[in-house]
Structure 1
Amino acid sequence: MLIHPWDAASDDTEWQTFLAGHDFGQLAVNGLPGEPPHVQPLHFAYDPAAGDVVGHLARPNPIWAALEADPQVVLSVVDDYAYIPTTWHAPADIPPEHGVPTSYYAAVQLRCTAHLVDDPADKAALLTRQLGHFQPAGDHGEPAPDHGPYARMLPGIRGLRLDVTEVRAKFKYGGNKPREIQYRVSELLADRDAPHDAAARRHQLRRLGAR
């Protein structure tokens, strides 16, 4: 992922705040020799204090052989995106249709080392952590390897713990454009009000104000 200086996260807090509101992404895993990469949609729980991510997948998933061969992976989260039409970015001294269209988006990529979790007690602990994230009210059974509602199903899954080794974050919201164009785009996003436009506008104005 190319990250220009004007698109880079201002500090760790920016990408951590974004990631705190997102717990679904795509896990990219190198394929076995002669095979394409695997891209697996994944609900996950990220713990910034521990520096790791946990998730689980069905045991028949073909991704496991690839992970065993190469545990270096990327977990990618992209959201708050908006298409910016040609006319929106055109400077005042050229015809509007000669402007350059672009995409606005926020993206965080976690480079990780994957660890497979097969021990029944460890899988139960991993599921407890996931359920605590997604259902903090506690309205769920307690995972245990030898009793309770999940004991019978635990053998059908494998746990996944990802140790985060590097974070790459990008907030592409026109930071290289003159301020007057950025404010124009902000107004046009508010007027259009398409899905994701409001979120993209919030990022744009927040970063514009920080500068």
Structure 2
Amino acid sequence: MFIQPWDAALDAAEWQTWIAEGHDFGILSVNGLPGQAPIAVPTHFTVDDDSLLIHLARPNPVWEAIEAGPDVTFTVTSDYAFVPGPWRAQPGTPPADGVPTSYYTAVQFTCRATIIDEPDAKAELLRRQLAHFQPEGDHAPVEAGRPPYGRMLPGIRGLRLHITDVRAKFKYDDHKPVEQRTATARRLTERGTALDAPTAAQQLRRLDRIGPWKA
């Protein structure tokens, strides 16, 4: 993932906060076996200290590839919007001369994967995930050998993705003039389609922290 200086995370806390705000669905990317394309798997995940926890169905074709090459990438992307060219035209130039772009946040984790197959360990992984996604606790006990989850555990395998590197990108035109960024956020809010509102919120948050861009 290419990151311009003005698109980089301002600090580790920025991307950590963004993830913690509910951005917990991403794409697991694994090198394919020789002669095969890479494998990409969409899935929810849970952060556990310096790891990501996920589980997938046992028939998923990803397992053989992970066993052959456990170094993987996990990418989370959201708060994205298409920005029309006229919104980005340089001051004093025709609006049609503006070049469109995409705004988005992306956090990319480089990880080393460990497969979890032991029943009690898989049950513990599921408990950790449920604590995050269903904190109300309104579910049956998750224990090996106890229904309903116990009989389902053989059908899944767990993954602990040990994080070895993180690259975060917040692409919101932070190198453009303050007035132009403010106007773009307003236009996104007024347009109000898809993820326009959270995209505008990210642009204004970054604008508040950065102000005029200084190389």
The 1-side partners of 2:205 and 2:132 are apart by 28
Supply the AA of the counterpart residue of 1:41.
P
CA drift of 1:89 comes to: 0.3
Question: What does residue range 126-165 of structure 1 map to in structure 2 within 5 Å?
Answer: 126-165=125-164
Please tell me whether residue 43 in structure 1 is matched to residue 44 in structure 2.
yes
Q: Deviations over 1:128-183 (max 9, x none)?
A: 11111111111111221122311111111111111011110000001111122112
The 2-side partners of 1:190 and 1:159 are apart by 40
| SS of corresponding position for 1:13 | helix
The 1-side partners of 2:37 and 2:117 are apart by 26
Aligned-pair identity (%): 54
| SS of corresponding position for 1:41 | strand
2:193 match: 194
Q: Deviations over 1:161-206 (max 9, x none)?
A: 1101111000000111112211221221122111211101111111
Q: Deviations over 1:25-77 (max 9, x none)?
A: 11000000110000001111112xx2111111111110000000001111101
The 1-side partners of 2:82 and 2:159 are apart by 35
Q: Normalized against structure 2, the TM-score is what?
A: 0.95
2:179 match: 180
CA drift of 1:92 comes to: 2.3
Supply the AA of the counterpart residue of 1:17.
T
Supply the AA of the counterpart residue of 2:2.
L
The 2-side partners of 1:83 and 1:36 are apart by 29
| SS of corresponding position for 1:165 | strand
1:15 match: 15
CA drift of 1:209 comes to: 1.0
Q: Normalized against structure 1, the TM-score is what?
A: 0.96
Supply the AA of the counterpart residue of 2:47.
Y
2:59 match: 60
| SS of corresponding position for 1:130 | helix
What number of residue pairs does the alignment pair up? Answer: 209
The 2-side partners of 1:92 and 1:128 are apart by 55
Supply the AA of the counterpart residue of 1:3.
I
The 1-side partners of 2:126 and 2:167 are apart by 27
The 1-side partners of 2:51 and 2:91 are apart by 48
Q: Which runs of 4+ in 1 moved over 2 A?
A: none
CA RMSD of aligned residues (A): 0.9
Supply the AA of the counterpart residue of 1:35.
Q
Question: What does residue range 105-120 of structure 1 map to in structure 2 within 5 Å?
Answer: 105-120=104-119
The 1-side partners of 2:149 and 2:68 are apart by 29
Which structure 2 residue ranges, 5 or more long, are not aligned? 211-215
